[in-house]
Amino acid sequence: MSNEKLLVPTKIVHSKRRSITIIIDRNGDLVVRAPLKCRQTEIDDFIKSKADWIIKKRLSAMNSTFKPLKFKGKEKITILGMTFDIILTDTKRVKAVEGEIYVPQNEPELYLRNYLVRLCKYKIPRRVDKFCEKFGFKYNGITITSATTRWGSCSFNNHLNFSYKSIMCPPDVLDYLVVHELTHTKVKNHSAKFWQKVEEVLPNYKTQEKWLKDNRSLIDVI
Ligand SMILES: [Zn+2]
């Protein structure tokens, strides 16, 4: 796609709002939100003023690994490193059995994502507390987020956030994500000191880091 084309909005939504805003979503689509009476020339000028940023963002989103599940035909999903065949059913809840996961055919994506969030809420605090007990970390709370581009974060007051996607990683990688954020309770940046502390807890953390880099396409499906 030429740079000119990248500046053409995929969708313009007019609504009761005060200013123009642009969003580049995970598919690389450019969505413009504008006030009701906003003229096309105003939108064009706004886009022009952000051209470099838009082109950069759209290109990087298009090159990302995100390939959403279509919930048609034979598809798979990985949870805690295990692979499940997705089977659509007319029930109202998600159920995972050996090698298969049953997902309501009515809004499968929503049900599956909620299922991942619930699994996170169950599993992640237990992993966090395990490392706290063993290594003396302290934190203020845990939130499971809908973040799609970052695995987790740690706030200034040591509240931990984890993306619902974390639960799709193998257990050792999930542990790395947990230890990474817990280490931020002690060191807020990614300095040498930070990595040294991560290594004290997980001597092989580089293997898990590499897994995250190499296997993004397994996770970027929902
Ligand atoms: Zn970090």
Residues 172-185 have pLDDT tens digits of: 999 999 999 999 99
Beta pairing class for 100-104 and 82-89: parallel
pLDDT band at 25 (very low <50, low <70, confident <90, very high): confident
Which of 126, 151, 163 has its CA nearest to residue 209?
151
What is the Å distance from ligand 1's center to 52 Cα? Answer: 28
What are the residue ranges spanned by the domains of the chain? 3-62, 106-219
Tokens representing 141? 């709370």
pLDDT band at 61 (very low <50, low <70, confident <90, very high): confident
**In whole angstroms, what is the distance from residue 105 CA to residue 92 CA?**
9
| Predicted TM-score of the model (pTM) | 0.77
What is the Å distance from ligand 1's center to 106 Cα? Answer: 37
Which of 118, 113, 114, 93 has its CA nearest to residue 103?
93
**In whole angstroms, what is the distance from residue 205 CA to residue 156 CA?**
24
Q: Which CATH superfamily is domain 106-219 in?
A: Metalloproteases ("zincins"), catalytic domain (3.30.2010.10)
Q: Please give the radius of gyration of the chain, using alpha carbons only, rounded to the nearest integer.
A: 21
Non-local CB neighbours of 114 within 8 Å, separated by 6+ positions: 94
What is the Å distance from ligand 1's center to 125 Cα? Answer: 18
Q: Is the pLDDT of residue 1 over 80?
A: no
pLDDT band at 144 (very low <50, low <70, confident <90, very high): very high
